Amino acid sequence: MSASAGSKHKPQHSAAPPRFAACRARDALVFAAGVAVAVLAILGSASVLAPGRRALVAFPVPGPGDGPRTFYDDPEVAYAVGTRLTGWDAKRAEWLRSRGLRNNAPEHVVMVSGQQPEPCPGDAGDHLLLRFLKNKLDYCRLHGIELLYNNALLEPSMVAYWAKIPNVRAAMLAHPEAEWVWWVDSDAVFTDMDFALPLSKYRGHNFVIHGTPKRIRRKSWLALNAGVFLVRNCQWSLDLMDEWARMGPAYPEEHARWGRTLRHALSDKDSDVACDQSALVYLILYNLETLGKKVYIETDYYLQGYWVGVMDRLDGIAARYEAVERRTPELRRRHAEREHLRYAAARNAAVSRAVPGQAGGADSGWRRPLITHFVGCQPCGGGRNPMYSRESCDDGMRRALGFADDQVLRAYGFRHADLLRDSLQPLPFDYPAVTIANRSNELD
């Protein structure tokens, strides 16, 4: 029987007790919060999928309609070789200011590498280039470097070794936040994952390249190696890249003339074909008065090490580093990969006291070479220099790649069973104080 409005009896469903009401209020709040999160998630995903919606992000990211106009809005600015760009230092500084970035940040490096667009004709060439690429990715990840790997010809006439110039020039414009652009040939292997570029050493210089003093004095076309170099992101460097490009096949008449000039001007040059390296050697060695103050010819460590001189010492280098770790308990601690640089610094300090040689490698001593360059092996094309056997090139590349890979695999608890084998071995706790063989005996 229902109660009338004037009934003295209270309704059966009166106000809930205080404790029950509080629980209901809390549940309602949790439910409302869940709905809010769901709505935000839907809106966030919609903003990514639907054009025109503003994305829900935790920090501001300049979009198409944001920020002042910069050099990117100038139709006269071109990425391609053959078009001079002026005022780059001011343009780049203005872009950095407009994005709230600090100018001249020497630690910001972009590495550039690449290969030809078509598949490799040589046996296992594509597989080798994949391993070379993986090696660069490993080094860049460990050192906080961005890698730009290109397999397209930005200037169709500049093929093979000339393709690096358009790649580097475009990277400078596409990455104004980078202070340095680091070109590394596809057949170059990072064989010291600990060594970091001594960028403070190059303060005041705009171009860094490895050189051989004896060949420099002879003005040999092999005096410098153009397979690895550092170039500062500035107007001076753009001008140098343009001058270098004008000696290449994008300018057929000048290219042919330069071929004859370089053969007569550089010792050991036995061809009228102007290659990128002989052109760069001529530019630098015959213009030292004007370029010398900005060019740093690196001879202290292997910015690029000749592979023939490295392979015979690789096992001895590995043995000496392992001996240092066996005597240094703190270096044997397991750690996350993101802590690599801290352990690298400690390992370099310990190795410098016990292993003779220059950090980053050199012609003498037993330190790991920063880069081992397989000049003449042609892993993709297969047309190696006849002075090298197929076995020496193939085994050398596999051993160098395995040597580098072992340094990376340590953070994952493994190493190669042998540098020429792909199978892995798990590392025992406290390796190498406890060797793999000893651990195996203990388990048996």
Output the pLDDT for position 295.
97
| Residue that wins the pLDDT comparison between 264 and 100 | 264
Q: What is the pLDDT of residues 244-277, one digit of tens each?
A: 999 999 999 999 999 999 999 999 999 999 999 9
Output the pLDDT for position 105.
58
Q: How many whole angstroms separate alpha carbon 433 and alpha carbon 25?
A: 62
Mean pLDDT computed over 200-228? 96
Q: How many whole angstroms separate alpha carbon 200 and alpha carbon 164?
A: 25
Output the pLDDT for position 82.
84
- Answer whether residue 440 shows pLDDT above 60: no
Output the pLDDT for position 225.
96
- Answer whether residue 125 shows pLDDT above 90: yes
Output the pLDDT for position 104.
58
Q: What is the pLDDT of residues 378-437, one digit of tens each?
A: 999 888 899 999 999 999 999 999 999 999 999 999 999 888 888 899 999 999 999 876
ω before 432 within 30° of 0 (cis)? Answer: yes
Q: How many whole angstroms separate alpha carbon 127 and alpha carbon 142?
A: 23
Q: What is the pLDDT of residues 79-91, one digit of tens each?
A: 888 889 999 999 9
Output the pLDDT for position 103.
66
Angstrom distances, CA of residue 256 to CA of 109, 158, 220, 251, 271: 35, 14, 20, 9, 11
Output the pLDDT for position 437.
62
Mean pLDDT computed over 193-218? 96
Output the pLDDT for position 60.
55
Output the pLDDT for position 402.
96
The mean of the pLDDT values for the chain is: 85
Q: What is the pLDDT of residues 311-326, one digit of tens each?
A: 999 999 999 999 999 9
Output the pLDDT for position 258.
97
- Answer whether residue 40 shows pLDDT above 80: no
How many C-beta atoms lie closer than 10 Å to residue 159's C-beta? Answer: 12
Task: Tell which CATH architecture fits domain 80-305.
Answer: Alpha-Beta Complex (3.90)
| Residue that wins the pLDDT comparison between 106 and 311 | 311
Q: How many whole angstroms separate alpha carbon 33 and alpha carbon 22?
A: 17
Output the pLDDT for position 382.
80
Output the pLDDT for position 69.
87
Categorize the per-residue pLDDT at 62 as very low, low, confident or very high, splitting at 50, 70 and 90: low
- Answer whether residue 51 shows pLDDT above 50: no
Output the pLDDT for position 418.
84
Percent of the chain with pLDDT over 70: 83
Q: What is the pLDDT of residues 223-241, one digit of tens each?
A: 999 999 999 999 999 999 9
Q: Are 208 and 109 in contact (CB under 8 A)?
A: no
Output the pLDDT for position 388.
94
162-194: string of b/e by CB count within 10 Å (b at 16+)?
bbbbbbbbbbbbebbbbbbbbbbbbbbbbbbbb
- Answer whether residue 55 shows pLDDT above 80: no
Return the domain boundaries, the chain.
80-305, 308-443
Output the pLDDT for position 289.
85
Q: Are 372 and 188 in contact (CB under 8 A)?
A: yes
Percent of the chain with pLDDT over 90: 73
Q: What is the pTM of this model?
A: 0.83
- Answer whether residue 350 shows pLDDT above 90: yes
Mean pLDDT computed over 152-158? 92
